[in-house]
Structure 1
Amino acid sequence: MVAFEDYRLEDRAVLEAADPLLRRLAGAGARIRVEAEAAREPTSLLDEAIRPRAVIAVGSEARLVRSLLEPVCPVPMMAWPGPALPGWVGPLDLVVVLAAHGGEQSLVHAASEAVRRGCQLLVAAPESSPVAESSMSRSTTLLTTRTSDPLAAVAVTAAALHALGLGPVLDLESVAGALDRVAEECSPWVDLSSNPAKDLALSMADTEPLVWGGSVLAARAARRVAEALRAASGRPALATDAEALMPVITAAEPRDPFADPFDAPITDRRPCLLLLEDGHTNELLAVARRQLEGAAEMADVRTCKVLQDEGSELLRYAVLLQKGLYAAAYLAIGLNRLQDPPSDW
């Protein structure tokens, strides 16, 4: 098993070797701007007066779109796993296809079926991709994607749904600007003492993270961050609700204050509680958070927090996710596990 070496987070040669991953993370805001510009014309042609009976979203980020729309959408909205559409979907409904990469066979099937049934379609996919080609019809609006970034595809799709009167107001430039600020704060050239992502990676270096987000969007960000932490470290990382996390925290073995940390086996890892907070709370969530923090304190489990409580729903989600992805990247750097970073970081 490889030990975390914190010097790697400040070593210029190591950080330069990690440039492809860190550069992709830093470009998140720019990718939203690229996709927003590409989607400007087709979005301007959308007609709010043509209201569908229901909205059915398919694709890897369909649940994120549903979470953004549900509070304000005037018609029923659902995220569907596919590939076959629900039997009741027809010409009165809008099918939203999120295919940032454009080649997913299940989405090709879903788009083809929506065309066959005469549905309205809103498709985010690369031009000339299998998904784009299979979705062509007189009732299709294609938002041509150029960056293969799922979050950027969601951003322009949500903006298009607002133009249809189905989603909240979105300022994509503010989202892009917030991601630019995360890139500045978490830059590899910002040292450990001032870099929140490096500090978070160091806090999780010898642990098995437990990630919790209270709201619907924070919980979704927690699942994505846990996926990134698993890929970065090759260790378990769990994201679930407070009720499921409590037994893991309370079962943690008591820490021996007199133990020599250098004598502990490298496989003997304690949990670490990572809280993602977006400012949306109610009494139930507040109680769950206090219970988690109290249990962690009683079990001497380290607790870390990432907070973003300003901005739109999409902005808060994007910032929580991006800070988590930066922390995962620095965890991979410290563990020297940069051979195969995920392509969608």
Structure 2
Amino acid sequence: MTWEPERLDDQRHLSEGDPSGMLPAVAGAAAHVRTGYRNAIEARVDRLAGQGRPRAIVVAGMGGSGIAGDMLAAVAGNGAPLPIVTVRSYQLPGWVGATDLVIAVSGSGDTEETLSVATQAVRRGCTLLGVGAPGSPLEAVATQASAVYVPVPVSGQSRANLWLLAIPLIVAAVELRLVTAEPDLFERVAATLEDMANRCRPASESFINPGKSLAMDLAESVPMIWGSSPSTAVAAHRLAGQLHANAKYPAMHGELPEAGHLQVAALDGPVAERDIFADVSGRSLRLVILRDVEEHPQVTRRREASLRLARERGVPVSELMAEGVHPLERMATLIGLGDYASTYLALGYAIDPTPVSAITELKARISQ
């Protein structure tokens, strides 16, 4: 598999190389926001508020569904009056009980880890909110427990349906008064993603297309992606995951200041070395910083110092700034850009971004 950047402006290649339509799926993010919001309202997630504020919120989900939980925690912020944690396993923590809200998220509705946690939540008497495919095993668990369930029309890969799965969680948090949201917030988020879809459309050439430009930066590198706030850290995690799944590409992610205590050491390692005289360039480290307009002053100092360290060592850097007033808007700018970049990176390597054969094979082996 060789990187050929000219493929990104070859409309025929972009169409034929993406037979399952990952690019159109990414472009549907704005519609997913509106659908997720409408379905959450129709499912009456406001009923959760009638049970009082929970002691804690636990979100159960794997892959993109787990990212939805991280988004909820980041949007609620450090001022949230209760802990919000994401569980990515089969086991509900022992401290979770009847006064807690468990949100089970699964695009397919049959993710075995999520079903296991949802079942445990019901047995312990927790309040349960389910989000996933209609008519699925997850909906059956929720229905049997007389719990609120938000059916969402997931199609294709669950990772391409992030906003369908995440928005109902944010709506529920608004109803519980854990998140402050203006009446037009969700429409603003949808408009932000529509703007990104227009700027990153396949017909837009690489030199003005931010998604293609970021893909070109990431190509032939090992990206180390850092967020400078909880919101941008979620976007960093999402970008790394999308690079894995769409482009089948290695990446690491972190959040400042923690990344400055461990991952920064990689700037002195073998992957950071660049031989400008080599006939064949190897893949070397690239530092990708996702910035936020709201940063702790000490985080800003660490970010600036880290960028200087990288540049002094000849490690290429990319800085991306989140835009918008609300944390959810700012997250949308970076998540939308990253989803496009990961898809274009795959297509630049002539990789179909949709199939995940290694994941499918792993699931088949453990089911035997």
| TM-score (ref. length: structure 1) | 0.89
Secondary structure at 1:162's aligned position in 2? helix
Rate the CA distance shift 1:125–1:231 in 2: closer, same or farther, 3 A.
Answer: closer
Please name the residue that 2:362 is paired with: none
Q: Which moved more, 1:97-106 or 1:184-193?
A: 97-106
Q: Is the 8 A contact 2:4 2:349 kept in 1?
A: yes
Secondary structure at 2:51's aligned position in 1? coil
Q: Is the 8 A contact 1:175 1:315 kept in 2?
A: yes
Identity %: 28
CA distance in structure 2 between the partners assigned to 1:276 and 1:291 by the alignment? 15
CA distance in structure 2 between the partners assigned to 1:72 and 1:101 by the alignment? 33
Please name the residue that 1:43 is paired with: 44
Please report how far the alpha carbon of residue 206 of structure 1 lies from its aligned counterpart in structure 2 after TM superposition: 2.3
Please name the residue that 1:75 is paired with: 82
Which of 287, 293, 297 is the aligned partner of 2:301? Answer: 287
Q: Is the 8 A contact 2:40 2:168 kept in 1?
A: yes
Please name the residue that 2:326 is paired with: 312
Q: Is the 8 A contact 1:111 1:134 kept in 2?
A: yes
Rate the CA distance shift 1:223–1:169 in 2: closer, same or farther, 3 A.
Answer: same
Bigger fraction of residues in helix: 2
Which of 275, 279, 297 is the aligned partner of 1:264? Answer: 279
4+ runs deviating over 6 angstroms: none
Tell whether 2:262 aligns with 1:248.
no
CA distance in structure 2 between the partners assigned to 1:227 and 1:47 by the alignment? 31
Please report how far the alpha carbon of residue 194 of structure 1 lies from its aligned counterpart in structure 2 after TM superposition: 0.9
Secondary structure at 1:48's aligned position in 2? helix
CA distance in structure 1 between the partners assigned to 2:44 and 2:329 by the alignment? 20
Please report how far the alpha carbon of residue 6 of structure 1 lies from its aligned counterpart in structure 2 after TM superposition: 1.5
Please name the residue that 2:25 is paired with: 24
Tell whether 2:139 aligns with 1:132.
yes
CA distance in structure 1 between the partners assigned to 2:200 and 2:353 by the alignment? 21
Rate the CA distance shift 1:229–1:91 in 2: closer, same or farther, 3 A.
Answer: closer
Please name the residue that 1:156 is paired with: 168
Q: Is the 8 A contact 1:115 1:136 kept in 2?
A: no
Q: Which moved more, 1:102-111 or 1:222-231?
A: 222-231
Secondary structure at 1:191's aligned position in 2? coil
Please name the residue that 1:210 is paired with: 224
Which of 335, 345, 351 is the aligned partner of 1:331? Answer: 345
Please report how far the alpha carbon of residue 109 of structure 1 lies from its aligned counterpart in structure 2 after TM superposition: 2.0
Please name the residue that 1:183 is paired with: 197
Q: Is the 8 A contact 1:46 1:160 kept in 2?
A: no
CA distance in structure 2 between the partners assigned to 1:206 and 1:284 by the alignment? 32
Q: Is the 8 A contact 1:5 1:334 kept in 2?
A: yes
CA distance in structure 2 between the partners assigned to 1:104 and 1:47 by the alignment? 24
CA distance in structure 2 between the partners assigned to 1:138 and 1:16 by the alignment? 45
Please name the residue that 2:122 is paired with: 115
Gaps of 5+ in 1: none
| TM-score (ref. length: structure 2) | 0.83
Please name the residue that 1:198 is paired with: 212
Q: Is the 8 A contact 2:225 2:251 kept in 1?
A: yes
Please provide the CA RMSD for this pair: 2.3
Gaps of 5+ in 2: 358-368
Secondary structure at 1:135's aligned position in 2? helix
Q: Is the 8 A contact 1:212 1:242 kept in 2?
A: no
Q: Is the 8 A contact 2:246 2:353 kept in 1?
A: no
Please name the residue that 2:360 is paired with: none
Please report how far the alpha carbon of residue 298 of structure 1 lies from its aligned counterpart in structure 2 after TM superposition: 0.7
What letter corresponds to residue 244 of structure 1 in structure 2? L
Which of 76, 92, 108 is the aligned partner of 1:101? Answer: 108
CA distance in structure 2 between the partners assigned to 1:235 and 1:123 by the alignment? 32
Rate the CA distance shift 1:328–1:283 in 2: closer, same or farther, 3 A.
Answer: same
Q: Is the 8 A contact 2:75 2:328 kept in 1?
A: yes
